[in-house]
Amino acid sequence: MTTVTGSCFCGEVRYEIDLPTRFCGHCHCSMCRRPHGAAFVTWTAVPPEQFRITAGEAALQTFESSSHGRRQFCRRCGSQMFCFHTRDDDAPPDLIDVTLASLHGPIDRQPEAHFYFDSRADWSKISDDLPKLGGATGIEPLS
Ligand SMILES: [Zn+2]
Ligand SMILES: [Zn+2]
């Protein structure tokens, strides 16, 4: 089993994930762009059992970014790190989204698609050949 470690910018919050990941892609939605201060955010994801906080859990701040989503960042340095979806039944999330940029090593895949591409910042010019997805769910093919 391959484990990849990650941390926030200041190093207070440390974590690790076990490969394999479930996906990797660039998200252009406004809820990603604003808190990250970026044109888009590159996420990967693992099931909860492949994810561990190894240090600094007390510095991890949770922000409820919607009625069904929570984001976590380091309250000391502001690094945005994790996102997970919550459901009505309070069940644990199926996947924990992890910012690829906070991981210290390579994972088992390259970015595979653009999500919420029709919500992208109009100053963001994308010239790669990856699938451009969007629509209401962010993952529908765009004609
Ligand atoms: Zn930090
Ligand atoms: Zn997003």
Average pLDDT over residues 5-19: 98
Distance CA 112, CA 128 (A): 11
Position 69 scores a pLDDT of: 87
Q: How far is the CA of 2 from the centre of ligand 1 (A)?
A: 24
Residues 6+ apart with CB under 8 A from 102: 6, 7, 8, 79, 81
Of 59, 51, 62, 61, the closest CA to residue 107 belongs to: 51
Average pLDDT across the chain, whole number: 95
In the reported structure, the alpha carbon of residue 104 is separated from the centroid of ligand 1 by a whole-number distance in angstroms of 14
What's the mean pLDDT in 117-143?
Answer: 95
- Whether 90 has a pLDDT exceeding 80, the answer reads no
pLDDT for residue 93: 82
- For the cut 80, the answer to whether the pLDDT of residue 5 exceeds it is yes
The residue with greater pLDDT, 3 or 87, is 3
Q: Residue 59: is its pLDDT beyond 90? A: yes
Cα-to-centroid distance, 31 and ligand 2 (Å): 6
Please determine, for residue 87, whether its predicted confidence score (pLDDT) is greater than 90.
Answer: no
Determine the average pLDDT of the residues in 58-66.
93
SS3 string, 38-92, reads CCCEEEEEECHHHEEEEECHHHEEEEEEECCEEEEEECCCCCEEEEEECCCCCCC
From the centroid of its chain, how far is CA 23? 10
Distance (angstroms) between ligand 1 centre and the Cα of 80 equals 9
Stretch 78-98: mean pLDDT, rounded? 87
